[in-house]
Structure formats: C-alpha cells, structure tokens
Amino acid sequence: MCNTDCCSNPKGKAGTKTAINSTNSSDIIPTPESLLYPYEVIEEIADFITKGSGMRPKIGIICGSGLGSLADIIQDPKIFEYEKIPNFPVSTVEGHAGRLVVGTLEGATVMAMQGRFHFYEGYPLAKCSMPVRVMKLCGVEYLFATNAAGGINPRFAVGDIMLMHDHVNMLGFAGNSPLQGPNDPRFGPRFPALVNSYNKDLINKAIEIGKAMGIESNIHVGVYSCLGGPNYETIAELKALRMMGVDAVGMSTVHEVITARHCDMKVFAFSLITNKCATEYSDKKDDEANHDEVMAVAKNRQKACCELVSRLIREIHMASA
C-alpha cells in the first residue's frame, strides 16, 4: 500500500491524465525562496535603500572575490551593512565584506554589492540573486557583475581579464534556476531569452578602454561557466568544460545575469583570471587552486579592474548626459 500524496490525493489519481495535466494551484510547489521574496518584499528592501541613501542608482556593481575595492572608489558613499538591511542575507565568504555601497562614480549614481551570495553558502539561487531585483526596483538599468575565476583557456594568464560574452549554466543543466517557481510578470516574462545577454556595445567599449590603458594583451573575450562549488574542479571536469567551449570557471555570476536579463537590465560582466586551471594530470602541487591565491591575485589586479570599471561607467554616464 502506497502512502504517498500522489496516491492519496483525491483531486487526481496518479497515473491518470487528469493528474498529469492538472494546473490546479495546489499542484504547484512554490520554492521557499519565491515565497520569501515576493515583489512586495523586494520593493520594501529597495525603498529602504533609496530612502536611506536619497538616491536612485542607475548602475549596479557586484564585486567579485577580492574585488571589493570596486566599491571603495565610490564617492560620497552611503553604506548599508547587509545585516542591517531588512530581509537581506549575510555574506559568509572571505573577501566578501557584506555591505551595500551607494554613491556616485564618474558622475553616475551607482550601488555596489561588496560581497555576493553563492549557492555553496547554502542559499538557494533565487536568494543569491535577489539583490539584482532589489537593484532593479532601486532604478538600476545596468548590471556590472565581476568575479574571480580559473582560466581554462590555455591562452589566458593569471591576472588577465576576460570580458564575458556568454556563459554555460551548469547549475541550469542540473535543473536549477534563480527563476524557478511561480513567475511574477512585474519582474519579467516566464520564458526569458538569453541570447545577447552580454551587451555587445559595452564589451566593445571595454576593449577600447583596455587599449587606452595599454593592457590590450591582457584582455580577452570569452565564455564563463558557473559550477556549484565550494570545491574546485577535477581535471576531468575541467577537460569537459574546455570541450564545451568554456574559457573560465567560477561559482557565481550566471544566476545574477539570468535574473538581470529577466528584468531587462543591460549586463556587462568580467572575470579576473586568478589561477590557471590544469587540464592535464600531473603531480605538481601548483595545479591546485586555492582561495588565498585567488584573493592575492585579485588584490594585485584591483587597480586595473577599478580603472576599467570607472572608465566604462564614465562612458555610459557621458552618453546619457
């Protein structure tokens, strides 16, 4: 005798067409995060930030591991510790300070997350990328997402910057999405298209800026993939990713980009290559990625990353002035 709900549910017996085709709302199992963060809650958080800062920022920045200095260059900053923002999660990863910084950069109004949320911290994807929706309701039109990543493309060197022009969503392959659960059309459509997710004009402008900075040989355009982490990848996984056309691998960003595109933001994203991933077996200890190295490389390259971001923001601001 089976005691599961499917057999005891009087509305539709398992195995019948009625049960399979049913669209009763009681058949939908909302994910806990879609219940936690309905539109009204996101709106409350956004109100808290816009009223508290007196600003409606136009550009949102997510600082990658060790790249928190992107928020330190913001002028006249109003700082919101995550733990003081109602309904906000807390950062648990080293190199992610856990505060939201609102102010101006190159004349543009910006808000930066100094600390992002990762799936491996135990947060569902919708919670990891919930701040992107907060940004949207604060008035943000452009998302700048940055990350530290391992370079799989053999042409990449440690310290290089890869401008993301596409991604492979490995968590999506496994059936996980920040958009899972009931869709609220006030954010965006049920089935958003993701081709052209990474704004081509911004990529081209960033390439030009790289030239002007004299770092064109350190700038690449490529494909990022996000794995769940927190473990780094095996050689076999890295080989598989390379065969799929992935150039750099990390544990973030993709779900933020999906959420941003769902609510029609323009997206610019880059990976700072903090380590080279081995795609052949060897006994070298050097082949093992570690977070201290990731942080050290990010610290070393923060000046170049800050300059790239500042100059690009200046261009956006000038074009809209």
Tell me whether residue 26 is one of the annotated catalytic residues. no
Active-site residue identified among 121, 145, 153, 265: 121
Q: How far apart are CA 26 and CA 35, in angstroms?
A: 14
Query: Which of 9, 19, 208, 291 is an active site residue?
Result: 291
Selected catalytic residue, list 96, 165, 220, 255? 96
Q: Is 66 left (phi over 0), alpha (psi -120 to 50) or beta?
A: left
310 carries a ligand binding annotation: no
Q: Is 63 left (phi over 0), alpha (psi -120 to 50) or beta?
A: beta
Nearest to 163 by CA among 214, 106, 110, 204: 204
Contacting range for ligand HPA; rule: CB under 6 A; set: 79-87, 143-151, 200-208, 312-320: 143-151
> How distant is the alpha carbon of residue 308 from its chain centre?
18
Smallest separation, CB 234 to ligand HPA (Å): 11
Dihedral pair phi/psi, residue 225, rounded to 5°: -130, 140
Task: Work out whether 302 is an interface residue with ligand HPA (CB under 6 A).
Answer: no
Q: Indicate which of ligand HPA, ligand R1P, none lies near residue 130 (CB less than 5 to 8 Å, by partner kind).
A: none
For ligand HPA, which residue has the nearest CB?
Answer: 150
One residue of 249, 257, 258, 308 binding ligand HPA per CB under 6 A: 249
Q: Does the annotation mark 262 as catalytic?
A: no
Among positions 274, 278, 309, 315, the unique one binding ligand HPA when judged by CB under 6 A: 274
- Which of 197, 161, 196 shows the shortest CA–CA distance to 70? 161
Q: Which position has the token pair 């005691």?
A: 3
Do the annotations mark residue 233 as ligand-binding? yes
Closest approach, Cβ 119 to ligand HPA, in A, equals 12
- Measure the CA–CA gap between 321 and 317, rounded to whole angstroms: 6
Residues designated as active site: 65, 96, 118, 120-121, 148, 251-252, 275, 291
- Residues of the shown chain interacting with ligand HPA in the complex, contacts defined by CB under 6 A: 148-150, 232-233, 249-251, 274-275, 277, 289, 294
